[in-house]
Copies of this chain bind each other. A is one copy, B any other.
Amino acid sequence: MTTSTALLTDRYELTMLAASLRDGTAFRPSVFELFSRRLSGGRRFGVVAGTGRLLSLLRDFRFGDDELRFLRDQNVVDASSIAHLEDYRFSGTIRGYREGELYFPGSPILTVEGTFADAVVLETLALSVLNHDSAVATAASRMSIAAGERPLAEMGSRRAAERSAVAAARAAYIAGFGATSNLEAGRSWGIPTMGTAAHSWTLLHDSEEEAFRSQVESMGTGTTLLVDTYDIRTGVETAIRVAGTELGGVRIDSGDLPIVAGDVRAQLDELGATSTRITVTSDLDEYAIAALAASPVDAYGVGTSVVTGSGYPTASMVYKLVARQDATGSWIGVAKASADKASHSGRKAAFRTLVDGVATAETVVVSDGFEELDTAAEHPDGRPLQVTFVEAGDIDASYEGVEGTAAARAHHLRVREELPVRALALSKSDPAIPTVYVEAD
């Protein structure tokens, strides 16, 4: 696989680039904004994720010989565009919401400023990363809230394309999950990994007892034994007979979990295995987790539903030109006019308005101009939501990699505390706080 990310791009971005080089508009200073008109699925808040990944992918957004040859061979763009792309390196500014931050309809999640030619080509890559990762993080945060203090592990790699699986593990971790089954996510992003054995382990052996005995010998009595390959009651009995009452845990991957968990807890307690933990992993989503709150479950493993955004596998973020200069160098706010896809023109600054530490509004200050919006002066009572990720092409590395991922997780858990109580309910509703637009002075 090539390391260049430059062709992870819709063709029309490069045909627009070529046409703008031809007519001279390529170098008009422009402001693109990445935002969402709505929250998918009646969610009460969204969670921004992917920013740290996007910054690293931006480092590799260069057109090398292979990429240029393809564009030339396929007649995607003309020779002067090829020459332009040969030297392309994003040299503008990117500001936006910190990764892990909450967002609401209209939140200016990412603002990309530069020439039209510089900024237009990042549309697909930015949306691909943020739409996917934010969809997963938003679902994951709801699950994390539903799980409360109980540990939550992501184990959905098999239900996501192989590289998205790694991104999904990361997004879930940022949104409050504690671990992942995915080893690459452990290596790339410093996420704790977990996992012991599948049903094939039991089936490989001539008896469940032999499988359990071998597992305990290899992994120690602290391991978790999967007890539902044949009969759960027999499985639990065998598990404790083999491992003793110090067995770390049992895992249940099928059945009516509230009933089964209660039965297994009673059986373990009867056998004296009072500290043996119960992990459940069968088709969980935020609703199933909430329904298990009163059951004696010690940990959850979530697969399909978290990596597919629990019914909403993509956020509905868009990347729109909101302001640009004209030929005279004056700034003009621009927006598409169609009724069903309207958007707010102009450069924006955003604040979370707080009253006694509780969020009451998403305040978006709008300016048609390009002047720096003084955040403190504009909104003294709000928490400023935007930071600078890229300044004149220089990427701030502190938002990337293992460090950036850990910081995003900490930020998410911190800002989630600001939400009003009604934001934590799982049912469909309006956004937890309104988005309020204010004209800049």
Contacts and interface: CB of A to CB of B under 8 A. Distances in A.
Interface of A: 1, 3, 5, 7-16, 18-20, 22-23, 25, 28, 30, 32, 57, 66-67, 70-71, 74, 76, 116, 120, 123-125, 127-129, 131-133, 155, 157-168, 181-184, 186-187, 193-201, 203-206, 214-215, 217-219, 228-231, 253-255, 304, 307-309, 313-314, 319-321, 324, 326-327, 334-341
Nearest to A309: B313
Contact of A214 (B22, B67, B195): B22
Given A15-B195, A196-B12, A187 B70 contact: yes
Contact of A181 (B11, B165, B199): B11
Contact of A19 (B120, B155, B215, B336): B215
Contacts of A123: 158, 198, 200
A7 B187 contact: yes
Contact of A18 (B66, B218, B230, B334): B218
Contacts of A28: 204
Contact of A158 (B127, B182, B204): B127
A364 B321 CA distance: 55
A9 to B, nearest CB: 5
Contacts of A326: 206
A253 B133 CA distance: 25
A11 B128 CA distance: 27
A11 B70 CA distance: 38
A345 B327 CA distance: 72
Contact of A324 (B158, B159, B203, B219): B203
A314 B163 contact: no
A438 to B, nearest CB: 23
Contacts of A132: 159-162, 164
Given A158-B127, A198-B16, A324-B204, A8 B184 contact: yes
Contacts of A181: 10-12
A67 B71 CA distance: 35
Contacts of A215: 19
Given A162-B125, A200-B321, A255-B338, A182 B8 contact: yes
A42 to B, nearest CB: 16
Contacts of A320: 199-200
A11 B254 contact: no
A159 B314 contact: yes
A11 B324 contact: no
Contacts of A1: 1, 3
A36 B215 CA distance: 28
A1 B324 CA distance: 35
Contacts of A196: 12, 15
A204 B324 CA distance: 7
B128 A199 contact: no
Nearest to A15: B196
A137 to B, nearest CB: 13
11 contacts: A10-B182, A15-B196, A15-B219, A28-B204, A30-B204, A70-B186, A71-B183, A131-B159, A133-B161, A255-B340, A304-B314
Given A30-B204, A183-B7, A15 B197 contact: yes
